[in-house]
């Protein structure tokens, strides 16, 4: 044996082989096979799912058929001849559906991957088109299905014949296809990133009720209409062209965008299942912008109370979504009171309570932020009750402005003496809703024939609306029987009690 050290040949350099690389579709199929092996399918599950969908659609059709008669009688009365006719309502519902669908599609992204897919699939060299193709199909089905409902349901309620309902549903489906496909094309091109598209859509969402209000006040009444099939065909062709451009650009989807959209979709779905409207808004990115405008507002603050008011004011002024929502709510309320059943009596109270409370929620951004993060209030040299009472200022102002605009447009206003303290009640209710804390899941559930009743979740969401409902009883009495000094005093007392209850 010699003392020589044996030499070893260097290890071969590893290199990937393109022929053995899994494509996106193959990776998805392999994952599905593993999941199916671990979770074997239950016999008859597909048939049960199909039956559930069919039964749900049948119930929806029956509900629409049942509501159609009263709605047609309501819209066919002489008092709606000023301009608010069935055709205008069809157009408003369709326009709102298109803008809202475009907003959701752009902010969540029509093409994407689930959170697990982003974690495990994106780092692989698999093609993005194969990975994201199921989301394209789901988005198209959701867009076309929602368009069919948005186009066909108002036509069915306003008395259009079966041929007209089919034509309007086809128009809605073509619009849904075009909206989803164009949003997808913007997504893969990178034009959907940033805040500019969201601001534009927020402006359009506010412009639709404003335009409807103008047409209802100064335009002729529209009769129920059915869209020409040629228009639906042109929109479908536009959607098909955008779909081709979208599918061809799927490989340009960036990993960062996929992660962000997967996180937003997960948060939105969780918030939707929990009936958390604030969580859905946060997931859709409808919060305040990073603009440095309105710098004079913080400079005008004096003392801790002034600083708190200035901070909430800046949060409201820098939120285009909240400002657009206030304008849209005022216009929607003014349009609603053109309907005879909603122009006076208990119908008018329902409109005022709903739009006023929604406006107060739009102005309670600071209170919601403090309710989610209690450290914000603890940083102020103020007591907890004082802080919550001060935070009610902007919700009260938001509700008051909307109620005033509805009164000006409706030509009424005899109830404004009661409506002013009622706005205080609605603002306090919005603060109570903002500080209601997490859901108490330890509350026992109630068994019903329709399934388990989540008592804790329902009680949680009733905090705020309960105060708005009880605190506006004097307003309801005033719009039904007329304003009296006793009702004004009762509404002022209800406002004081509401502020005290919200501050607690």
Q: What is the pLDDT of residue 75?
A: 60
* Residues whose CB is less than 8 angstroms from the CB of residue 330 and which lie 6 or more positions away in sequence, other chains included: 355, 359, 401, 402, 405, 406
Sign of the C-alpha dihedral computed for residues 116, 121, 122 and 124 taken in this order: positive
Task: Write down which residue in 276, 304, 336 finishes a domain.
Answer: 276
Q: What is the pLDDT of residue 41?
A: 66
User: Does the pLDDT of residue 366 top 70, yes or no?
Assistant: yes
In a domain, 283, yes or no: no
User: In terms of pLDDT, which residue wins out, 67 or 250?
Assistant: 250
User: In terms of pLDDT, which residue wins out, 31 or 431?
Assistant: 431
The full length of the chain comes to 504
Are residue 452 and residue 322 in the same domain, yes or no?
yes
Among 377, 388, 372, 387, which residue's Cα sits nearest to residue 467? 388
Task: Write down which residue in 276, 304, 327 finishes a domain.
Answer: 276
Q: What is the pLDDT of residue 81?
A: 46
Which of the 8 DSSP states describes residue 125? S
User: In terms of pLDDT, which residue wins out, 246 or 52?
Assistant: 246
Residue 294 Cα distances to 286, 289, 318, 325, angstroms: 19, 12, 8, 19
Are residue 64 and residue 119 in the same domain, yes or no?
yes
Q: What is the pLDDT of residue 375?
A: 82
Count of alpha carbons within 13 Å of 151, Cβ hemisphere only?
A: 27
Q: What is the pLDDT of residue 79?
A: 45
Weakest mean pLDDT among 141-150, 390-399, 445-454: 445-454
Which of the 8 DSSP states describes residue 339? S
* Residues whose CB is less than 8 angstroms from the CB of residue 401 and which lie 6 or more positions away in sequence, other chains included: 326, 330, 359
In a domain, 481, yes or no: yes
Q: What is the pLDDT of residue 78?
A: 47
User: In terms of pLDDT, which residue wins out, 221 or 90?
Assistant: 90
Percent of the chain with pLDDT over 70: 84
Are residue 181 and residue 138 in the same domain, yes or no?
yes
468: number of Cβ within 10 Å: 25
16: number of Cβ within 10 Å: 8
Are residue 443 and residue 322 in the same domain, yes or no?
yes
Which of the 8 DSSP states describes residue 256? H
What is the tens place of the pLDDT at every residue in 182-193? 988 888 887 666
What is the tens place of the pLDDT at every residue in 115-136? 777 888 878 777 787 788 888 8
In a domain, 189, yes or no: yes
Label residue 55 by pLDDT band (50, 70, 90). Answer: confident
Which of the 8 DSSP states describes residue 251? G
Are residue 307 and residue 254 in the same domain, yes or no?
no
d(CA 376, CA 315) in angstroms, rounded, equals 14
3-state secondary structure 441-455: CCCCCEEECCEEECH
Average pLDDT of span 191-215: 78
* Residues whose CB is less than 8 angstroms from the CB of residue 97 and which lie 6 or more positions away in sequence, other chains included: 146, 147, 150, 172, 175
Are residue 260 and residue 409 in the same domain, yes or no?
no
Are residue 363 and residue 427 in the same domain, yes or no?
yes
Are residue 379 and residue 499 in the same domain, yes or no?
yes
User: Does the pLDDT of residue 443 top 70, yes or no?
Assistant: yes
What is the tens place of the pLDDT at every residue in 61-120? 777 667 666 666 666 554 444 557 788 888 888 998 898 888 888 888 788 888 777 888
Instruction: Evaluate whether 346 touches 476 at the Cβ level (below 8 Å).
Output: yes
Instruction: Evaluate whether 64 touches 157 at the Cβ level (below 8 Å).
Output: yes
Average pLDDT of span 169-183: 91
DSSP string, 295-333: THHHHT--HHHHHHHHHHHHHHHT-HHHHHHHHHHHHHH
Q: Helix 393-410 crosses helix 384-391 at what angle (to 10 degrees)?
A: 30
User: Does the pLDDT of residue 7 top 50, yes or no?
Assistant: yes
Task: Write down which residue in 276, 310, 338 finishes a domain.
Answer: 276
Are residue 204 and residue 329 in the same domain, yes or no?
no
User: In terms of pLDDT, which residue wins out, 14 or 212?
Assistant: 212
Count of alpha carbons within 13 Å of 384, Cβ hemisphere only?
A: 9
Q: What is the pLDDT of residue 235?
A: 92
Percent of the chain with pLDDT over 90: 15
Q: Which two tokens stand for residue 341?
A: 């059943």
In a domain, 46, yes or no: no
User: In terms of pLDDT, which residue wins out, 333 or 116?
Assistant: 333
Phi/psi of residue 146, nearest 5 degrees: -65, -35
In a domain, 87, yes or no: yes
d(CA 469, CA 358) in angstroms, rounded, equals 13
User: Does the pLDDT of residue 33 top 70, yes or no?
Assistant: yes
Q: What is the pLDDT of residue 491?
A: 92
> End-to-end alpha-carbon separation of the chain, Å?
92
User: In terms of pLDDT, which residue wins out, 76 or 484?
Assistant: 484
User: Does the pLDDT of residue 20 top 70, yes or no?
Assistant: no
Label residue 312 by pLDDT band (50, 70, 90). Answer: confident
Q: Which H helix or E strand runs over 104?
A: helix 86-108
User: Does the pLDDT of residue 425 top 90, yes or no?
Assistant: yes
User: In terms of pLDDT, which residue wins out, 355 or 155?
Assistant: 355
* Maximum average pLDDT range among 315-324, 370-379, 484-493: 484-493
Are residue 248 and residue 305 in the same domain, yes or no?
no
DSSP string, 174-211: HHHHHHHHHHHHHHHHTTT-SSHHHHHHHHHHHHHHHH
Q: Which two tokens stand for residue 398?
A: 């938001």
* Maximum average pLDDT range among 13-17, 24-28, 204-208: 204-208
Q: Domain of 495? A: 296-503
Are residue 75 and residue 192 in the same domain, yes or no?
yes
Are residue 376 and residue 413 in the same domain, yes or no?
yes
d(CA 471, CA 375) in angstroms, rounded, equals 30
In a domain, 114, yes or no: yes
- How many separate domains does the chain show? 2
d(CA 449, CA 385) in angstroms, rounded, equals 42
Q: What is the pLDDT of residue 80?
A: 46
In a domain, 327, yes or no: yes
Question: What is the pTM assigned to this prediction?
Answer: 0.81
What is the tens place of the pLDDT at every residue in 285-304? 655 555 566 666 666 667 78
Chain mean pLDDT for the chain = 81
Which of the 8 DSSP states describes residue 344? S
User: Does the pLDDT of residue 169 top 80, yes or no?
Assistant: yes
In a domain, 286, yes or no: no
């Amino acid at each position: 044996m010699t003392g020589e050290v044996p030499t070893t040949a260097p290890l071969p350099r590893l290199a990937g082989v393109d022929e053995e690389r899994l494509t996106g579709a193959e990776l998805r199929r392999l994952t599905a096979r593993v999941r199916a092996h671990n979770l074997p399918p239950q016999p008859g599950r597909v048939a049960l799912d199909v039956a559930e969908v069919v039964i749900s659609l049948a119930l929806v059709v029956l509900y629409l058929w049942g509501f159609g008669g009263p709605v047609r009688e309501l819209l066919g009365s002489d008092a709606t001849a000023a301009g608010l006719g069935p055709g205008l309502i069809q157009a408003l519902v369709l326009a709102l559906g298109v803008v809202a669908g475009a907003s959701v599609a752009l902010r969540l992204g029509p093409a994407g991957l689930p959170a697990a897919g982003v974690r495990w699939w994106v780092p692989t060299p698999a093609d993005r088109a194969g990975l994201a193709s199921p989301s394209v199909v789901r988005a198209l089905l959701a867009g076309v299905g929602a368009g069919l409902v948005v186009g066909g349901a108002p036509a069915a309620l306003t008395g259009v014949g079966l041929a007209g309902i089919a034509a309007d549903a086809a128009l809605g489906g073509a619009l849904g296809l075009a909206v989803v496909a164009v949003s997808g094309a913007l997504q893969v091109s990178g034009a959907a990133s940033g805040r500019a598209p969201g601001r534009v859509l927020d402006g359009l969402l506010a412009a639709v009720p404003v335009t409807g209000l103008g047409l209802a006040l100064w335009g002729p009444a529209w009769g129920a209409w059915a869209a020409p099939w040629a228009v639906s065909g042109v929109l479908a062709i536009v959607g098909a062209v955008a779909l081709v451009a979208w599918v061809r650009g799927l490989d340009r989807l960036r990993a960062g965008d996929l992660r962000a959209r997967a996180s937003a979709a997960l948060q939105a779905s969780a918030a939707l299942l929990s009936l958390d409207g604030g969580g859905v808004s946060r997931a859709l990115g409808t919060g305040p912008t990073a603009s440095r405008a309105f710098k004079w507002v913080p400079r005008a603050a004096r003392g801790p109370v002034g600083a708190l008011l200035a901070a909430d004011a800046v949060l409201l002024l820098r939120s285009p979504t909240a400002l657009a929502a206030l304008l849209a709510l005022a216009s929607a309320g003014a349009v609603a009171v053109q309907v005879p059943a909603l122009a006076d009596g208990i119908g008018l109270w329902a409109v005022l309570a709903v739009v006023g409370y929604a406006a107060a929620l739009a102005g309670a951004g600071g209170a919601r932020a403090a309710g989610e993060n209690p450290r914000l209030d603890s940083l102020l040299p103020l007591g907890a009750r004082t802080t919550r009472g001060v935070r009610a200022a902007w919700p009260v102002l938001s509700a008051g402005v909307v109620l005033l605009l509805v009164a000006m447009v409706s030509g009424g206003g005899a109830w404004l003496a009661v409506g002013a303290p009622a706005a205080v009640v609605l603002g306090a209710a919005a603060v109570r809703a903002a500080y209601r804390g997490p859901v108490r899941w330890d509350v026992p559930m109630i068994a019903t024939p329709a399934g388990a009743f989540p008592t804790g979740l329902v009680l949680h969401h009733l905090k705020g609306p309960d105060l708005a409902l009880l605190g506006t009883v004097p307003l309801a009495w005033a719009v039904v029987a007329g304003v009296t000094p006793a009702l004004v005093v009762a509404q002022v007392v209800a406002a004081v009690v509401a502020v005290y209850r919200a501050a607690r």
